[in-house]
């Protein structure tokens, strides 16, 4: 990888840490390419069930590194967006553990995650308009789907920020924790997910995140196709056998 990104495995959980604390983990090209590679690792290994994305030094991510941007270093991965995940999030569930700032591209990274755990002093926002820019890495698309659209529009137009309590009230944040404990809480949540069947977890994410965009006349057939794939899997048989035999299941992800 790179010193700007740390990747550590905790059993079935992959923890990825943005590691530019002096820049509040602002995203540059090197970090973006490393993050894309980490997401490829997460998806390629069937024994990994969930990922956690966090930031070092008390901040999640302050967005794109504007100094690097001015020097021609754009933190996009071709076809995959900011950090390699905003256009193509991983198939594996991903939890954002947010301390401090999640602004601009930082919020867009968090929105590309499936669940968000935030410290009580976390700060979210899309300040791009204050810099003459727009939140083009998914913020304008995803935020109105996660909080009331009128509220999302207000924050996108003004560039103002909001806190963890507001985010939790709208359902954007799954849990609010004391400062400094977001990663610990996210890991506990990840462990609860990782205890389940890997294939069932991935397909569950696929249906929940993609079904709203499926045409109504194909929705049930597309869901059934995915359901049939899960029902025919080794994990489905193992789950049933473990329940009948009153033991813990041994998942293979197949």
User: How far apart are the C-alpha atoms of 112 and 240, rounded to whole Å?
Assistant: 33
Q: In 3D, which of 30, 3, 150, 29 has the Cα closest to residue 17?
A: 3
Q: Which of 6, 128, 238, 245 is catalytic?
A: 128
Cα gap 111→98, rounded to integer Å: 11
Q: 115-119 and 175-177 as β-strands: parallel, antiparallel, unpaired?
A: parallel
Return the structure tokens found at 241.
Answer: 């056998």
Phi, psi of 192 (to 5 degrees): -65, -40
Q: Measure CA 221 to chain center.
A: 28
Strands (E), 4-141: 5-10, 13-18, 50-55, 76-77, 81-82, 94-98, 101-103, 115-119, 123-125
Whether 166 is catalytic? no
List the 101-103 sheet strands across, edge first.
101-103, 123-125, 161-163
Q: Which of 206, 209, 211 is nearest to 221 (CA)?
A: 211
Catalytic residue from among 4, 41, 99, 108: 108
d(CA 99, CA 164): 10
191 tagged catalytic: no
**Which residues form the catalytic set?**
108, 128
């Amino acid at each position: 990888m790179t010193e700007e990104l740390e990747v550590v495995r905790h059993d079935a959980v992959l923890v990825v840490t943005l590691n530019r604390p002096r820049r509040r983990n602002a995203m540059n090209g090197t970090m973006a390419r490393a993050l894309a590679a980490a997401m490829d690792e997460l998806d390629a290994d069937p024994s990994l069930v969930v990922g956690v994305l966090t930031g070092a030094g008390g901040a999640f991510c302050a967005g794109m590194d504007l100094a690097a941007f001015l020097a021609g270093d754009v933190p996009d991965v071709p076809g995959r967006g900011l950090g390699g995940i905003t256009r193509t999030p991983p198939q594996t569930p991903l939890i954002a553990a947010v301390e401090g700032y999640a602004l601009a591209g930082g919020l867009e990274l968090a929105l590309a995650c499936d669940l968000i755990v935030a410290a009580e002093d976390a700060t979210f926002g899309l300040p791009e308009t204050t810099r003459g820019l727009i939140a083009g890495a998914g913020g304008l698309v995803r935020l109105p789907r996660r909080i009331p659209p009128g509220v999302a529009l207000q924050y996108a137009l003004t560039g103002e920020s909001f806190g963890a309590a507001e985010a939790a009230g709208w359902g954007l944040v799954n849990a609010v924790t004391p400062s400094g404990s977001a990663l610990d809480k996210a890991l506990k949540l990840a462990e609860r997910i990782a205890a389940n069947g890997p294939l069932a977890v991935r397909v569950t994410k696929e249906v929940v995140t993609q079904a709203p965009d499926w045409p109504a006349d194909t929705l049930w057939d597309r869901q059934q196709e995915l359901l049939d794939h899960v029902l025919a899997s080794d994990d489905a048989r193992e789950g049933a056998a473990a329940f009948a035999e009153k033991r813990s299941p041994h998942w293979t992800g197949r």
